[in-house]
């Protein structure tokens, strides 16, 4: 998809050249209102149908999560959490999948040029034909999203239906959600829409209702409305303050120029030493001394 003009690229993995930047694309976002979700999994079905992916039949682990986890053929999964609040049971159902971070750790970590791209509209997409299957994106992602297929050693995750969005359609999941818990539009309008939902939740006693648009990754293009925004961990361990791990930032940031300078300097110093001091060569006197040691004469 990466070459469609309707999807300008903002960032490309392992690439230093400046991407085309004359156009200003509209930033989009998907808003998932967890308080409206009934856990019907229509979005999972729509995702499988549109993207033509079928995970292998799994096993029931005694919970509603089905499949149990994300996978190369499972780009979104409903995670069910039971929570007691004020003596009442709350069933917190979160649709998990790629958050389409503004500062994507996957893209930062990826060593293959163009295997991960971020479009100007905010979608982060994996371009499988460029992927080498190293799994660095897994280490870079603060949300535990990318999965490497055992079949082809390439990374897969939610595309936010970049192919649909490119032609002005909403993602398959948003299109099919029967309760309207998934809405799609410009990021600004989604933030706006969320405010209305949050005001409604607050009026119904959820004092801590709020929007999940974590600043640690520069905000995301998939956002949640949470009834307990002060405790994202309640929602099947949603990260409280997700950031790209410091180890990955050092590895993919500071260390790169530093080691290039180190290696370059070693070569330059060696070269300069050779041309200024010259090689250390054995002299005839050395040979003579060695012969004397052995008690031999030169001739």
Partner 1 sequence: MSGSVEKVAVIRDTYTRFNASERANHWVVAVCAILLMLSGLAFFHPAFYWLTALFGGGQAARVLHPWIGVVMAISFTGMGVRMFCQNIWNADDSKWLGRIGDVIANRDENLPEVGRFNAAQKLVFYVMFWSVITLLLSGLALWHQYFGDLVPIGMQRFAGLLHAVTAAAMIITMIIHIYAAIWNAGSTRAMTRGSVTGGWLWRHHRKYLREEVAKSK
By the criterion CB under 8 A, which residues form the site for partner 1?
Answer: 14-16, 109, 111-113, 130, 132-136, 138-139, 144, 148, 153, 245, 247-248, 250-251, 255-256, 258-260, 262-263, 266-267, 270, 273-274, 277-284, 286-291, 293-294, 296-299
Query: Does 223 help bind ligand SF4 (rule: CB under 6 A)?
Result: no
Query: Does 228 help bind ligand SF4 (rule: CB under 6 A)?
Result: no
Q: Which residues contact 192 (CB under 8 A, 6 or more apart)?
A: none
106 binds, among ligand SF4, partner 1, none (CB under 5 to 8 A by kind): ligand SF4
Q: 220 by DSSP, 3-state: which? A: strand
Query: Does 214 help bind ligand SF4 (rule: CB under 6 A)?
Result: no
Find tokens 């549109």 and name the residue: 50
Q: Which residues contact 198 (CB under 8 A, 6 or more apart)?
A: 209, 210, 211, 225
Nearest distance in Å: CB 110, ligand SF4: 3
Q: Which of residues 130-169 bind ligand SF4 (CB under 6 A)?
A: 131-137, 141, 143, 145-146, 148, 155, 157
* Sign, CA torsion 174/180/185/188: negative
Neighbours of 136 (CB within 10 A): 25
143 binds, among ligand SF4, partner 1, none (CB under 5 to 8 A by kind): ligand SF4
Nearest C-alpha neighbor of 99 from the set 220, 201, 198, 182? 220
CB 223, CB 32: distance < 8 Å: yes
Binding site for ligand SF4 (CB under 6 A): 13, 98-101, 104-106, 109-110, 112, 115-116, 124, 126, 131-137, 141, 143, 145-146, 148, 155, 157
């Amino acid at each position: 998809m990466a070459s469609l003009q309707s999807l300008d690229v903002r960032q490309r993995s392992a690439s230093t050249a400046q991407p085309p930047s004359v156009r200003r694309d509209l930033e989009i976002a998907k808003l998932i209102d967890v308080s409206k979700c009934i856990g019907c999994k229509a979005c999972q079905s729509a995702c499988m149908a549109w993207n033509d992916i079928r995970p292998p039949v799994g096993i029931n682990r005694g919970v509603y999560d089905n499949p149990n986890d994300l996978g190369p053929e499972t780009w979104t999964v409903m995670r069910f959490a039971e929570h007691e609040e004020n003596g009442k049971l709350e069933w917190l159902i979160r649709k998990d999948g790629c958050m389409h971070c503004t500062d994507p750790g996957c893209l930062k970590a990826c060593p293959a040029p163009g295997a991960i791209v971020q479009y100007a509209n905010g979608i982060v997409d994996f371009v499988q034909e460029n992927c080498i299957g190293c799994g660095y994106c897994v280490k870079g992602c603060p949300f535990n999203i990318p999965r490497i297929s055992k079949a082809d050693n390439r990374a897969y995750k939610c595309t936010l239906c970049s192919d649909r969005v490119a032609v002005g359609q909403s993602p398959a999941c948003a299109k099919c959600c029967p309760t309207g818990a998934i809405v799609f539009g410009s990021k600004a309008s989604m933030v706006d829409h969320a405010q209305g939902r949050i005001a409604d939740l607050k009026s119904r006693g959820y004092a801590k209702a709020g929007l999940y648009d974590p600043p640690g990754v520069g905000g995301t293009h998939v956002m949640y409305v949470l009834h307990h925004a002060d405790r994202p961990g309640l929602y099947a361990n949603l990260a409280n303050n997700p950031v790209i791990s410091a180890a990955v930032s050092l590895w993919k940031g500071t260390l790169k120029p530093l080691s290039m300078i180190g290696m370059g300097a070693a070569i330059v110093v060696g070269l300069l030493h050779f041309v200024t001091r010259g090689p250390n060569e054995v002299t005839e006197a050395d040979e003579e001394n060695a012969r004397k040691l052995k008690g031999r004469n030169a001739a």
